[in-house]
Amino acid sequence: MPVYHARQIRLSEIGQAVGATIVGRPDTIVSGASSLELAEPGHLAYIDGDRFIKPALASRAAAFVVVRPIAEIDRPQLVIPNPKYIFARIVQQFFTRPDRARGVSDHITQGTDVRIGPDASIWPFVTLGDRVKIGARVTLYPGVFIGDDVTVGDDAVLYPNVTIREGCAIGARVIIHSGTVIGSDGFGYVPHEGRHHKIPQLGSVTIENDVELGANVTVDRATFGRTVIGRGTKVDNLVQIAHNVSIGADSILVAQVGIAGSTTLGHHVVVGGQAGLADHIEVGDQVMIAARSGVNRSLASNQIVSGAPVMPHEIAVKAQAIIPRLPELRQLVRDLEQRVRSLEAAKPARKKATGKRHP
């Protein structure tokens, strides 16, 4: 578990490590890192755009990571592209205490033919099934359950009470937060004579390298084959991923997303919170799905969509703007209908009057 580590370090050393240009005093001592609002004297913070210049002026930070020199600020600056990313690197490298291997606790339960790599940290009350393979420097916190024939890659971290069911594969540097269940049965039933009969779920789950899963995520095993979460994908808390779903690399799923069975997402897909995706559809690469969208059809690559049912975002925005006016528009339509009926009723009388004047 990453722990904040305060230390004293010169700004020049930080700048050299990340390749930044220093504006101001390079011998400034940096003792920590924080946000603009919470920074204390001696802290480093970052400025993510011009709209944060005013908060930066009010900040107590000793120095800033910026994308360009900011003349209004008289404190030292590390100038480098993408300051937010560089700031995250600085915090990781200089102000996060490195984990130390604690070894394997005597109070674990393990089956036969279990293989544990070097420098593992396995806390008490972990359960390892038969033929489990644990990579190097893996951390398993208390209450983790790993079923038979599971593999866990190097440097993976599984927080308390994570469950990995039998036959699943977890890649290297994967982070799984508390309460998440990998490999639970897919929701598959067949109706017969008025009852729902379970379809055996015989597949598995593959979590590829560098994936992070939030707390209380569920990833169901495939009916046959695999449910796959692609390399580098990040999944927020309380997300449901159904059987045989395939998610491409470097995608983002925000909290409370639900993806129904056998749906495929391409790479770099972003799905906003509480969006729901129907089963057996395909979402192309680099699609952005807005929060609370209802995706009931396949989507081509490189587009932004929103609404329920989903539609191009620019159309959904216009439709949303009309909704508050619907009562007014309804009344207008009723008034127009009444006027049309009145005009239609007046036509026979006019024709009759005209006929009398011009025989």
**Residues catalogued as catalytic:** 243
Question: How does 82-120 read in b/e, with b if 16+ C-beta sit within 10 Å?
Answer: ebeebbeebbeebbeeeeeeeebeeebebeeeeebeebb
Q: Residue 137's closest CA among 96, 174, 93, 101?
A: 101
Q: How far apart are CA 205 and CA 257, in angstroms?
A: 18
- Tokens of residue 46, six digits: 């970052």
Burial bucket for residue 132 (CB in 10 Å: 0-12, 13-18, 19+): buried
Quick check: 205 and 223 in contact, CB under 8 A? no
Using the structure block, give the residue that is written with the tokens 């909704």: 323
Q: How far apart are CA 292 and CA 271, in angstroms?
A: 9
Quick check: 88 and 30 in contact, CB under 8 A? no
